[in-house]
Amino acid sequence: MTSWFDINSLDRSAMTIQDGYKNVSQSELRESTAIVAKLIDEESAALGSSSNVFVGGFSQGCAVSLASFLTYKSILGGVVGLSGMHALDLDWAKEVDIELKKQTKVFLYHGKSDPLIPAAFSKQIY
């Protein structure tokens, strides 16, 4: 199945807010964010600034969009995420410039009845 990264487990009992990222192939997530970063660079050149670029996605696409936003070194125009989760491992997340990221608009939505990803994972992102 085509996807952004492998998920090692969707066992909700094994997924916690504190360590849900452990179920995600971090190497594949990094590969996907590198692809998105290249696309952001290309769009930024075409649009004059990364602040004119928006990223977004659903489910795994949401996780990649969030990871791309958090690790991209410039301000983006915005991020839209639907029914996803924070997937960066803690070591990688330490590299995030929080003050820079506060300058980007973020819209996240997650239904309360999602059978795969708990809504609490979206709340964690905030």
Per-residue model confidence (pLDDT) at position 51: 96
Per-residue model confidence (pLDDT) at position 55: 97
- Cα distance between residue 72 and residue 5, in whole Å: 18
DSSP-derived secondary structure letter, 61: H
Q: Homologous superfamily of 20-125 in CATH?
A: Alpha/Beta hydrolase fold, catalytic domain (3.40.50.1820)
- Cα distance between residue 31 and residue 5, in whole Å: 9
Residue 25's contacts (CB-CB under 8 Å, 6 or more residues apart) are 5, 6, 7, 8
Per-residue model confidence (pLDDT) at position 15: 55
Per-residue model confidence (pLDDT) at position 1: 45
The stretches in the chain having pLDDT less than 70 are 1-23, 125-126
Burial 32-53 (b: 16+ CB within 10 A, else e): bbeebbeebeebbeeeeebeeb
- Total-model pTM: 0.82
**Domain segments of the chain as ranges:** 20-125
